[in-house]
């Protein structure tokens, strides 16, 4: 998602007459599009901001993305960063820059962090991206999250779920198809909860045709468009494009969605389905409303419905309270699910989350040991 957002930032600044440079000493402006999911990513921001400010005292530095709203980050970087701004408000940066020409007019705090309660996600998502790849592209179809997993910053950093209008998603795909793109990854923090409720769009496709039917038919009635409906229509409308989607939450991974994946050859059969932990106790503490049994049932059902399906996953290692027995429950899931890839994240407390209050009692070396074990486990299975 951050890569996709950065493509929109790059495009917008191109339209404002800026020119990209790889030489920091030539830059007038540096924008950090940040991730706050892990402490290591946050630490890299601190280090790079410090180095850039030291090398180029007069460059303007802007921070957007997941950590821009955090008061602790603003306090720590207040003497090095000129502007903290929500990703939703990137179109307002030129106006803010005009104020920066007169530093005396700025005070640290609310004025430096430009966030509007009525900011429209769709306003920035409507920017045509400066795609980094000529054949493969990311398209966000929703952003934000309503789940409030106890370890996660996304609902605080990106806000509640926002589903992008169907017409605009189709328009972006249509433009990519015309440019010859072969692969598209649909994005959302919790993509299978996509639901556009005020749509006047009737999704229709041309059957048994190799010619893409990328015209979206508009009618005067209200229809709730869910992710399986959207995905099915997109896949059938653009049969020459291979579609992937990220990321699914087990609580919303429905049989209807499995059937859509199964019957469309141009939808990837590799499903990213984060488990996070195999322990029911830890899942409950994470506010993940499913159990190991429920998760494994989903895997089995998907294997029955989708030919040649494979799975990737996310795991948080060393969540507060995770005993060796809890960790072995995660290992048990790995034994039953032949993951092709697992993204292993060693737990670090995130400010503003519920889990921050639990501290970080598990030693880093123990987290590294558990991560190494799972990494080797996946490697051995693949071999």
Integer Cα distance of 58 and 25 in angstroms: 10
Q: b/e map of 317-327 (b: 16 or more CB within 10 Å)? A: bbbbebeeebb
Q: How many CA atoms lie within 13 A of 32 on its CB side?
A: 30
| Domain extents in the chain | 2-114, 121-382
Quickly name the fold that domain 2-114 has: Rossmann fold (3.40.50)
Integer Cα distance of 63 and 25 in angstroms: 18
Element (H, E) at 75: helix 71-77
What SS3 class is residue 65? strand
- Residue ranges of the chain with pLDDT lower than 50? 103-118, 205-209, 217-221
Say if residues 11 and 128 touch (Cβ distance below 8 Å).
yes
pLDDT, one tens digit per residue, over 99-147 is 666 544 443 333 343 444 445 666 889 999 999 999 999 999 999 999 9
Looking at the structure, give the CATH architecture of the domain made up of residues 121-382.
Alpha-Beta Horseshoe (3.80)
- DSSP symbol at 109: T
The tokens for 163 are 């589903």
pLDDT value at residue 200: 60
Q: Please determine whether the domains at 2-114 and 121-382 fall in the same fold group of CATH.
A: no
Integer Cα distance of 362 and 2 in angstroms: 29
pLDDT value at residue 102: 56
Integer Cα distance of 242 and 235 in angstroms: 8
Integer Cα distance of 140 and 126 in angstroms: 10
Helix, strand, coil percent values for the chain (each to nearest 5): 45, 20, 40
Indicate left, alpha or beta for 294 from its phi (over 0: left) and psi (-120 to 50: alpha). Answer: alpha
- DSSP symbol at 215: P
Integer Cα distance of 134 and 336 in angstroms: 38
pLDDT value at residue 117: 44
């Amino acid at each position: 998602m951050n890569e996709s957002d950065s493509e929109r930032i790059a495009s917008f600044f191109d339209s404002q007459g800026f020119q990209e440079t790889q030489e920091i000493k030539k830059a007038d402006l540096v924008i950090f599009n940040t991730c706050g999911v892990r402490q290591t990513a946050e630490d890299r921001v601190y280090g790079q901001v410090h180095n850039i400010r030291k090398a180029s005292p007069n460059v303007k530095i802007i921070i957007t993305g997941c950590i821009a709203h955090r008061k602790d980050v603003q306090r720590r970087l207040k003497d090095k960063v000129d502007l903290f701004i929500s990703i939703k408000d990137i179109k307002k940066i030129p106006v803010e820059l005009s104020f920066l020409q007169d530093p005396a007019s700025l005070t640290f705090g609310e004025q430096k962090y430009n966030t509007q309660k009525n900011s429209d996600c769709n306003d920035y998502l409507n920017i045509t991206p400066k795609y980094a790849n000529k054949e493969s592209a990311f398209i966000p179809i929703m952003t934000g999250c309503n789940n409030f997993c106890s370890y996660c910053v996304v609902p605080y950093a990106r806000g509640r779920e926002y589903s992008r209008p169907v017409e605009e998603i189709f328009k972006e795909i249509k433009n990519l198809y015309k440019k010859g793109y072969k692969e598209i990854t649909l994005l959302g923090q919790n993509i299978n909860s996509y639901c556009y409720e005020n749509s006047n769009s009737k999704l229709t496709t041309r059957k048994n045709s190799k010619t893409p039917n990328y015209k979206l038919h508009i009618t005067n009635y209200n229809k709730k468009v869910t992710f399986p409906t959207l995905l099915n229509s997109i896949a059938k409308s653009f049969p020459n494009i291979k579609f992937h989607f990220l990321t699914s939450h087990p609580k919303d991974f429905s049989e209807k969605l499995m059937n859509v994946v199964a019957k469309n050859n141009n939808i990837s059969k590799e499903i990213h389905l984060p488990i996070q932990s195999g322990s029911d106790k830890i899942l409950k503490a994470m506010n993940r409303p499913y159990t190991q049994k429920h998760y494994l049932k989903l895997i089995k059902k998907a294997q029955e419905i989708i030919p040649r399906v494979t799975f990737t996953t996310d795991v948080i290692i060393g969540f507060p309270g995770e005993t060796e027995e809890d960790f072995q429950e995660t290992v048990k899931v790995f034994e039953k699910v032949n993951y092709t890839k697992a993204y292993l994240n060693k737990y670090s407390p995130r400010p503003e989350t519920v889990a921050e209050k639990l501290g970080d009692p598990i030693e880093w070396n123990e987290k590294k040991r558990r991560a190494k074990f799972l990494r080797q486990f996946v490697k051995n299975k693949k071999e």
